[in-house]
Structure 1
Amino acid sequence: MYREMEFKKYYLDLVMVPLSIMISICYHLWLWNKIRTQPLSTVMGANAHARRLWVSTVMKDNEKKHILAIQTFRNTLMGLTLMATTSIVWCCGLAAVLSSSYSVKKPLNNSILGAHGQFMVALKYVTLLVMFLFSFMCHSLSIRFIGQVNYLINCPEDSTIVTSMYVAELLEKGFALSMIGNRIFYTALPIMLWNFGPVIVFLCTSTMVPVLYNLDLLFEDSKKRKKMAY
């Protein structure tokens, strides 16, 4: 009888939260496959193609466009630094909460659905801590790659090693890590609502995935390509 009561407390957490995480993972796996197979139908694929052309154009006319390249990378690095700083600040805050007394980590309202035990509360904060740490790591690596590109893009293009293709590959690695860090950060936002119950986590994820779907795909371009095919 006691075990049944305990299972009822954990039931919603064991169903809703993993289901929410799986929805997010499945969507991003589908998006990754879409980027590989039909890159120009996605925002990320179209932007990657445009960045490769931009790198080639800048390196061919380096004397006139080197200042433009430096300013562009400066703005990009500022955005990445902001996201990395935000992630590590969240990590520090969560670490401070985990090291505090249990009274600080109690849910705001015991009437909220889901488990409220010490183990479950610790699991919520540890999950968030791990996600924000991975987001910080991805943004830090992205800063590293784009910082390298900031130097290499001003090299002469006739170099046997530093070609426009090589610089574009480094730039794409940086932006890919930035996108992964951002998506981990976005996935952590519904998990933050876990303190208010697992149902809210599921509802937040179910709302966020359609929003990301509409932001990630280029519907107008796909319609134009279909018309051109006919």
Structure 2
Amino acid sequence: MDNALILIIEDEPEIVDILETYFQREAFRTVSANDGTIGLAHHRRLKPDLVILDVKLPGQDGYEVLAAIRRHGDTPVIMVTALAEDLDKLQALRIGADDYVVKPFNPLEVVARAKAVLRRSLGRDRRQAIRVGPLTVDAEAYVATIDQPSGPVVLELTRTEFRLLAYMAASPNRVFERSELVDACLPEGDALERTVDSHMSNLRRKLSAAGAEQLLSGVRGVGYRLADRHG
């Protein structure tokens, strides 16, 4: 985490100055962009360790920038915005944001959340690949596949979907409560248990498309189970 590069994509100069000051005090390097399109160019060229991303931007807005970042990789992204509605948070998390901070914010809190996201990203458990029936989860390669007669099918997952799948795959057949999944796998500051249902719905759809719809099931009133029902 030492000397990590933080890309700040924000069009308010005062906010950029504050964030850069606080991040640099903690020995982070910073670079900024006041436009979504310029921010994406910086991301491709500089390959930052983490992105602080506003929603309302000139050029491409924050959601478009986040989607573009996710199409090309897994750089951690924290959304910083004045939009405080739950639907806005859910949209950012569905696209693949790692955390969400609402303006006005305490810059110390933003730095603390960035450190937490970086620890989770850079310090992931490097266990061997986990198998649950036709599912293989390789935490080191950050890849999940479903075995089919024609060969393995790669699941195209968001970061949060992958974290949920890997966490459950480590204890197959166990029922996980929503509150545990929130604490273990979802971004800090997002305590909405219904967010888990949204991610699980997307995950189940992707498993079904890969021919493994039996793996993930809901347990009424409790949470979710990952199990090979035919194994």
Kindly indicate which of the two structures has a greater share of residues assigned to strand.
Answer: 2
Larger relative contact order (Cα-Cα within 8 Å, sequence gap ≥ 6): 1
Which structure has the larger Rg?
1
Higher helix residue share: 1
Check whether TM > 0.5. Answer: no
